[in-house]
Chain A
Amino acid sequence: MSGLAAASRGAGASASSESPARMERIAHSTRRLLVYTVLLAFSLYIVGPFAAILVNAFGQGWFGGRWLPETWTLKWFRFARTVADLPTLMTNSLTIAGLAIAISLAVGIPTAWAMAKRRVRARALLMALILLPRMVPPITIALGVSREFYGFHLVDTHLGIALAHSILIIPLVVLIMSATFEGLDDRVLEAARVCGARWTHTSWYVIRPLVMPGLLAATLFGFVTSLNEFTLTLLTYGPRTVTLTVETYVQIGQGFTTIASALSAILLVPSLILLVLIQNHIKPENVVGGTKGI
């Protein structure tokens, strides 16, 4: 692919420097063709698996090398609701995600403020320490966590799983919120103070609206992280706390890929909403370090 891109650039330039306009036009359209081939190939490559999941979730009789299923059906979603007990799965997943975000914001925001607005000794080291949970293999943390949680009776509780998820969400909150707080102009805070605003008023009427986009981003990222977290959930869940993610894994393991596809189709929705939102509101490069998945 890189060869193609280079060749297309080569063709374009040699034409422009030494050939008549017609040659240049041909070179130009060749280059356009190559560019769109690269983009189209990449798009298909990314979209393919999702399309396959949707087709699998809504299709029946997709065997023997057919391009599409024989018939379309909602059967697998009905199975997901009855056999896999979808309402309970959703309640579990959402309860855990909600708890995890509440914990992570409460713990992460003060630290983010300190990192952004205070003089912290050994700042770089501290930040590295806070981000460390996202660098160590999740399975290494999960083994210890599951043993620890057996001792504290936190296994198979919503709170326990939320606490485990927060290990991965807090670094994210600190990363996003400290970047947000850094963008906050000290002069604005000073102005509010000079005008006689109390600290509570300043934080509610001045700081809150200014940091809202960052707060929203941190919440959404945390939400999707919790919803999608697999390794830590697998080692701390129990019969009362089966989540959408775990059930998807169980269904795949038992070979019911159609029910798993239906569950996956449901799990895709929040991720896709987040995708659209972040594209419009934050620069993806800034959170690359924090979005490390499972």
Chain B
Amino acid sequence: MRRMLGRTRVVRLSTVTLLAPALAYLGVFFVYPIFVTLRTSLERTGASGYSFDNYRAILGSGYYWNVIGLTLLLAVATTLASIVVAVPLALVLRTHVRGHRFVRVLVLTPLLILALISALGLLIIWANTGWANKIIASIIGADIQVDYTIKGLIVFYTWLYAPYTILTTLSAVEAIDPAVEEAARVTGATPIQVLRRVTLPLSLRGVRAGSILTFLLAFEAFSIPLIAGGNHRPLAVVVYTEATVFNNFPKGSALAIVMAVIAVVVLVSYQALSTGRQRREGRT
């Protein structure tokens, strides 16, 4: 078919011509800016020439290691919390109970709303006199501080980034052939065994795919910690303050490069692990 179309008289642009605009755009507005950030990170403050001074300063300082540690802690905690929300919700939504459509729409809302707005709303309901805090206080009988704490950031991040885990988990759970679970049930497995041995292992692929997105987003989060972090400043915020508030573009850039390297390393190792897993699963 492709060959037949190829022989037609119609004017056909070559594939390279079709790809050229996007590649040029990527080059000018993505690769080049990254290169600029990289070059800036090698500049020396108050001196000419290039050096690794900024990187040495960052990696040699306990402060920046704490920042990186905090960022990773927030990302891992958010990923885990998102799985805890996603799995039961996906199992419930799969049954198509009444109202499931409405909840499916709700799952999407955090993806399409400006993070800043969400952060503002979350700050209001989790304030000491906010709705969420009042409800929790009436249950456990004690006030808790959520806004501007690490705990609060995890709650906010999870609100914002769990939908990625939920959506992929849901699509994996819904792809499970009911016959497989039925077979396990018929052969005498208890419902808990079916859940543990059949349903959950089969939804793992979806959980993994969503988790990597949730992790990366939490790792790169900027606007939420900027307004809701208080004294807890993860990488993106420190990069921004370093570059704009302290006007130290070189150091901010170096930190931004460190951040990008961590993100890309995580992503690439995930890809390598999952293709390796697919190959193994494919063989069996």
Tell me, yes or no, whether A binds B.
yes
State whether B191 touches A13 (Cβ < 8 A).
yes
Binary contact track B69-112/A, C-beta < 8 Å → 1, others 0? 00000000000000011011101100101011111111111111
- The answer, yes or no, to whether A48 is at the interface (CB within 8 Å) is yes
State whether A187 touches B1 (Cβ < 8 A).
yes
State whether B37 touches A261 (Cβ < 8 A).
no
Known A-B contacts A2-B84, A141-B33; the reply to A120 vs B19 at CB < 8 A is yes
State the main secondary structure of chain A at its contact with B.
helix
State whether A6 touches B195 (Cβ < 8 A).
yes
For chain A, the count of residues having a C-beta within 8 Å of the partner chain is 106
State whether B222 touches A231 (Cβ < 8 A).
yes
- The answer, yes or no, to whether B144 is at the interface (CB within 8 Å) is no
- The answer, yes or no, to whether A148 is at the interface (CB within 8 Å) is yes
What's the minimum C-beta distance from B107 to chain A, rounded to whole angstroms?
8
For chain B, the count of residues having a C-beta within 8 Å of the partner chain is 104
What's the minimum C-beta distance from A24 to chain B, rounded to whole angstroms?
14
Q: How far is the CA of A174 from the CA of B171 in the complex (A)?
A: 22
The stretch among B47-55, B57-65, B146-154, B255-263 that forms the contact with chain A is B255-263
State the main secondary structure of chain B at its contact with A.
helix
CB-nearest residue of chain A to B240: A139
Within 8 A of A (CB), among B94-151: 95, 97, 99-118, 120-125, 129-132, 134
Known A-B contacts A119-B15, A140-B37; the reply to A49 vs B249 at CB < 8 A is no
Residues from chain A with a CB closer than 8 A to the CB of B111 are: 291, 293
Known A-B contacts A2-B88, A249-B227; the reply to A118 vs B109 at CB < 8 A is no
Q: How far is the CA of A289 from the CA of B170 in the complex (A)?
A: 15
Within 8 A of A (CB), among B215-253: 216-217, 219-220, 222-223, 226-227, 235-236, 239-240, 243-244, 249, 252-253
Known A-B contacts A106-B21, A170-B22, A257-B120; the reply to A271 vs B125 at CB < 8 A is no
- The answer, yes or no, to whether B5 is at the interface (CB within 8 Å) is yes
State whether A186 touches B120 (Cβ < 8 A).
no
What's the minimum C-beta distance from A111 to chain B, rounded to whole angstroms?
4
What's the minimum C-beta distance from A256 to chain B, rounded to whole angstroms?
11
Residues from chain B with a CB closer than 8 A to the CB of A195 are: none
Within 8 A of B (CB), among A27-47: 32, 35-36, 38-39, 42-43, 45-47
CB-nearest residue of chain A to B121: A49
Residues from chain A with a CB closer than 8 A to the CB of B117 are: 53, 248, 264, 267-268
State whether B121 touches A135 (Cβ < 8 A).
no
Set A136, A174, A252, A272: member contacting B264, Cβ < 8 A: A136
State whether A135 touches B168 (Cβ < 8 A).
no
- The answer, yes or no, to whether A96 is at the interface (CB within 8 Å) is no
Residues from chain B with a CB closer than 8 A to the CB of A133 are: 26, 30
CB-nearest residue of chain B to A227: B114
- The answer, yes or no, to whether B42 is at the interface (CB within 8 Å) is no
Set A13, A129, A164, A249: member contacting B116, Cβ < 8 A: A249
Residues from chain B with a CB closer than 8 A to the CB of A253 are: 227
CB-nearest residue of chain A to B123: A257
- The answer, yes or no, to whether B4 is at the interface (CB within 8 Å) is yes
Within 8 A of B (CB), among A95-121: 106-108, 110-111, 113-114, 118-120
Residues from chain B with a CB closer than 8 A to the CB of A120 are: 15, 19
Residues from chain B with a CB closer than 8 A to the CB of A228 are: 112-115
Q: How far is the CA of A276 from the CA of B105 in the complex (A)?
A: 8
State whether B129 touches A50 (Cβ < 8 A).
no
Binary contact track A217-259/B, C-beta < 8 Å → 1, others 0? 0000000100110110011000000000100110011000100
CB-nearest residue of chain A to B227: A252
State whether A230 touches B164 (Cβ < 8 A).
no
Q: How far is the CA of A202 from the CA of B9 in the complex (A)?
A: 13
Q: How far is the CA of A106 from the CA of B120 in the complex (A)?
A: 35
Binary contact track A167-193/B, C-beta < 8 Å → 1, others 0? 100100010000000000011011001
Residues from chain B with a CB closer than 8 A to the CB of A132 are: 26, 30
State whether B13 touches A110 (Cβ < 8 A).
yes
Can you list 12 A-B pairs, Cβ within 8 angstroms, ordered by A? A9-B192, A10-B190, A49-B120, A129-B26, A143-B252, A144-B40, A186-B1, A193-B10, A252-B116, A252-B227, A264-B116, A272-B109
| 10 A-B pairs closest in CB distance | A49-B121, A144-B33, A65-B129, A114-B18, A144-B37, A199-B10, A111-B22, A144-B36, A13-B191, A228-B114
Q: A135-B263, A148-B36, A166-B25 are in contact. List 9 more A-B contacts (CB 8 A).
A: A13-B191, A35-B92, A53-B121, A144-B35, A230-B223, A285-B168, A288-B168, A293-B115, A293-B217
